[in-house]
Structure 1
Amino acid sequence: MDFSGIGSFGSCLDDFSGKYMSPCSCMYHGVDWSNDFSNGNPRFYATSDGGYPSNTVITMAMTEDGSKFLLELLSSKDSRVSNLIFSRVFEFIFELMIHQFGRYLFQQLIVSVDEIRLQMIMEKLTVAENDIYHASVHKYGNFSVKKLITALKRSPLITYVIKALSNKFEELMTDPTGQYVILECLDVLDSRTNDLLYVRAMEGCLELSRHERGVVSMNAFIARIKGPRLDQLLNWICDNVRFLAQDPTGNYVVQCVIGLENPAINDRIFNLLEGLYVKLSMAKAGSHLVEQCLRLSGMNRVISEFIGSDQLVFVVKDRYGNYVVQTALKESKKRDSRIHASLIVKLEERLDCLRHGYGRNIRTLFKSLQ
């Protein structure tokens, strides 16, 4: 196709309904084009009173063939083409980005128009309503927002996106779709650009860590955060580690931090958890945390608490605790014969009590370690 003349291009768009939307094609004839969005999102109509589309371009964009056609036009890299398409779809830019087919035009348009039009898009998406948030939690809109982040990563306009996301940080981090937009920022943008998200993570860490879905997002966030804010976040977690370690979900954040194997942070955590190792060993999530401590530099602290406790027999006979004690025996045998011997002596004192239930696992392990 030759789009060298802006007039012919305009005619091509205006005539598209005659060429591709004729009644005989049955593709668009008599369609009442509307979208209904849940959760208070806008409802729009792009039809004329006669039942035919009042905006041919936006209607084209929301069909598979029409979207491909418009993408082909944009591939000409003619600014007049992209500006004309922009002028036709601008009022429906949000609806475009969350549509199954329209999103492809949106994603190509934002890398085709100039900075002025990009700013117009950003203002429309963020000033009146937080459409960035609504798109982020939408199954198709999510892809559009991630593309927007990539397209704007070297532009000052990225601040529009970061601010919009930070205003809904906790909602996004607890949403199964929205969380991936936050993680995209961490993967694509530098630490300075993401700083507002880092601050919101520290402010909301406690609540997110106690949320069934939020804790998963928080762990992914911790694995990606860069720069000085990482140390601030890790130290904040240390400050609250005794509370988090005893929480059914918060426990997993502590495990994530320990898994980073930061010597200073881990030493602080292992020290702060002293007095809780016995109790944690008899909790489902807590037992995994204690086993992790045993496999790292917290082994001596954990075993010393076991040896000094009169509750060790209850740990050994517990459905979760017996696995912790097995790990303690195996790890100490490999790494510290002295403390291993001390643990053996302590367990042998109550060996007769371990003939039944989960205690039998320890008796069996005793034989294999001899």
Structure 2
Amino acid sequence: MGDRDSIPSPFDDIHPFPFMQDPPPSPHHHQHFNNFPENSSPNPYYHQNPCLRSSRNPITPYQNSCSASASCYGSGSGFAGNAGIQEVESLMGGLRLSENPYRVNAPDVRVYSGLYDQNHYLREMRIRDAVLATMGATQGFNFNNNNYSLSSRNYGLGYGGRVMNNVQPYFSWRLYLVALAKTKDGCRTLQEKIKEGEPEEIEAILSGLQYHLHELITHRNGNYVIEKIFQSTSLTLEQMNIALTLLLRDVRKLQSVCMDVIGTRVIQKIMEKLNTHSQQYLVTLVMRLVTKTLMKNANGSYVIQQCVKLFPPEYKKVILEEIAHNCVDIAMDRCGSSAIQKCLGHAEGQAIFSLVREIILNASVLSQDPYGNYLVQYLIQMELNEPPANKLMIQHLSGGFVGLSMDKHASNVMEALLQFSEPNDVAVMVEEIMNSPEFCNVLRDPYGNFVIQTAMECTQGNLRKSLCYFISNNCGFLHSHLYGKNVLAFAKRCRIDD
């Protein structure tokens, strides 16, 4: 596909949460708060936010639930005071944003460096409280105590092998939820909560897993949780749109998920739950970007087939036109050839016109390919009337029937054309071979002799008699030849039957 970083995305200018968008963070975001008087607040929650509290601000009871976060900044540090970003980062023990491995997958880690405002912080706390209300009582997890460790050794979620409990109010509840989804018992618990839960509870769980959707979809346990979210009857249309946007936003990760043996199954299940045209259109736009790669993959091809199978004709056409654009490349691949055949079986009418046209125009090349010839045979056996594929293919291949008849793979295409075409079109093929100076070579060819035998089966009347007469006249070249004698014997049987 070339440079993977160059893959465009229809979501480049779209926020991952179009319904929950916060003001964008700024590298100098703390300067906005310095504009307020030291003892004043931009909103009623100002003094409840440890990220914004200065040494003169009173300590509220809310600090107890955020003590771990407040300790990260040290005593007397805050953006209402004189501490800058570099001071905060030094107090964080060198956890700099530019070196943070979670920057892409978990943008909320920017809270560590104070880049998010108090509104984001309060929303994080509300979501965390919702998760606590949904899961805390069942699992007995206490976010305010250091009694639950998440390290890179156990879950691959730690930073530099250090336990992440010192930042629990901002991050550990998400890590806890992800780790829970990866365990057998935790996976079942989350599925039960999703099945029985209200939309608010499902939203809380989805918010906790939002940055790890692709990771969980390919996990042996976590995939069931993601599948359950999309299949939940309590999921609102707005929540479904958010979840779908999160899933489709990163095209490269989506491609990897579709090519995974577990991920492809989950993606197909999700597609079955897409009920609106806008959702199907969104999936179509994204899948079009990775159609070529997925069609040549054993697992990914099933995702494209599912699109063609379930989506309306106007969206099928978009996918099939992308396949047609890369027809030769895909059809000459083992998985790709089979996938195109199945896509043709799921579509009809104008949706397949462009793909059929490309197959016909490249029939000569594909017929001689070990895998492409199966696609050409499949199209011939469909016996399409609109467009008349077999007639058009015979016209396009005219003048090369002799060479194709003596090719190992193309000879099968020739036999298919003789068996599934109209008598007038069959006559054109047979007469060209009979009148060729290479006719005797075709009769004695390891593959051509089978084409001639099929021609004698599929012709009638005078054309069949003429073909048998031509073969009998070359008896001297055929009766002692390994393959020629078989053609001669078949011609004698045909003359007896006539």
SS at match of 1:318: coil
User: What is aligned with 1:294?
Assistant: 418
| CA–CA distance in structure 2, aligned partners of residues 109 and 232 of structure 1 | 37
SS at match of 2:353: helix
Residue by residue, what CA displacement relative to the aligned partner does 1:101-150 show, whole Å, maximum 9, x if unpaired?
Answer: 11111111023332333333333333345322121011111112112212
- Whether the 8 Å contact between 1:145 and 1:181 is mirrored in structure 2 is yes
Give the alignment of 1:115-194 within 5 angstroms: 115-194=237-316
Deviations 1:51-81 (A, max 9, x none): 9986333222212222222212222152233
Moved more, 219-228 or 267-276: 219-228
Q: Which has the larger radius of gyration?
A: 2
For residues 50 and 204 of structure 1, the distance between their equivalents in structure 2, rounded to whole angstroms, comes to 48
Map 1:257-336; keep pairs closer than 5 Å.
257-263=379-385, 264-296=388-420, 297=422, 298-332=425-459, 336=460
Partners of 1:94 and 1:248 in 2: how far apart?
36
Counterpart amino acid of residue 209 in structure 2: V
1:259 Cα offset (Å): 1.4
Q: Identify if the C-alpha distance between structure 1 residues 218 and 8 changes in structure 2 by more than 3 Å, giving closer, same or farther.
A: closer
User: What amino acid maps onto 1:105 in structure 2?
Assistant: V
Alpha-carbon separation, structure 2, partners of 1:308 and 1:8: 83
Question: Higher mean Cα deviation, 311-320 or 83-92?
Answer: 83-92
Matches within 5 A, 1:64-103: 64-103=184-223
2: CA distance, partners of 1:108 / 1:48: 32
Query: Which stretch of structure 1 is more off in the superposition, 323-332 or 168-177?
Result: 323-332
**Aligned CA distance change for structure 1 residues 150 and 351 (closer, same or farther; 3 Å):** same
Deviations 1:181-217 (A, max 9, x none): 0000011111122332122122111222233332222
Instruction: Return the TM-score normalized by structure 2.
Output: 0.63
Aligned to 2:467: 343
Name the structure 2 match of 1:49.
163
Q: Which of 350, 353, 356 in structure 1 is aligned with 2:477? A: 353
Distance in 1 of aligned mates of 2:162 and 2:178: 13
Describe the shift of the 1:9–1:279 C-alpha distance in structure 2 as closer, same or farther (beyond 3 A).
Answer: closer
8 Å CA contact 1:162, 1:196 repeated in 2: yes
Give the Cα–Cα distance (whole angstroms) in 2 for the partners of residues 17 and 197 of structure 1. 45
CA deviation map 1:156-176 (0-9, x unaligned): 133332222111111011111
In structure 2, distance between residues paired with 1:100 and 1:274: 54
* Residues 61, 105 of structure 1: 8 Å contact kept: yes
Cα distance in 2 for partners of 1:342, 1:64 equals 74
CA distance in 2, matches of 1:17, 1:265: 63
SS at match of 2:153: coil
Q: Which moved more, 1:356-365 or 1:281-290?
A: 356-365
State the AA in 2 paired with 1:366: A
SS in 2 for 1:202: helix
Q: How far, CA to CA, are the matches of 2:259 and 2:220 in structure 1? A: 14
The CA distance in 2 between the partners of 1:74 and 1:249, in whole Å, is 45
Q: Distance in 1 between matches of 2:150 and 2:247?
A: 31
Give the alignment of 1:182-221 within 5 angstroms: 182-221=304-343
Q: Identify unmatched segments of 5+ residues in structure 2.
A: 1-127, 142-148
Q: Is the contact between residue 411 and residue 451 of structure 2 (CA under 8 Å) also seen in structure 1?
A: yes
Contact 1:107 1:148 (C-alpha < 8 Å) held by counterparts: yes
Given that residues 153 and 189 in structure 1 are in contact (C-alpha distance below 8 angstroms), is that contact kept between their aligned partners in structure 2?
A: no
Instruction: Single out whichever of 275-284 and 191-200 deviates more from structure 2.
Output: 191-200
> Is the CA contact 2:449–2:484 (under 8 Å) kept in the aligned structure 1?
yes
> After TM superposition, which residue ranges in structure 1, 4 or more long, deviate above 6 angstroms?
6-9, 28-31, 50-53
Secondary structure of 2:334 counterpart: coil
Cα RMSD for the two superposed structures: 2.9
Counterparts of 1:241 and 1:259, CA distance in 2 = 14
SS of aligned partner of 1:201 = helix
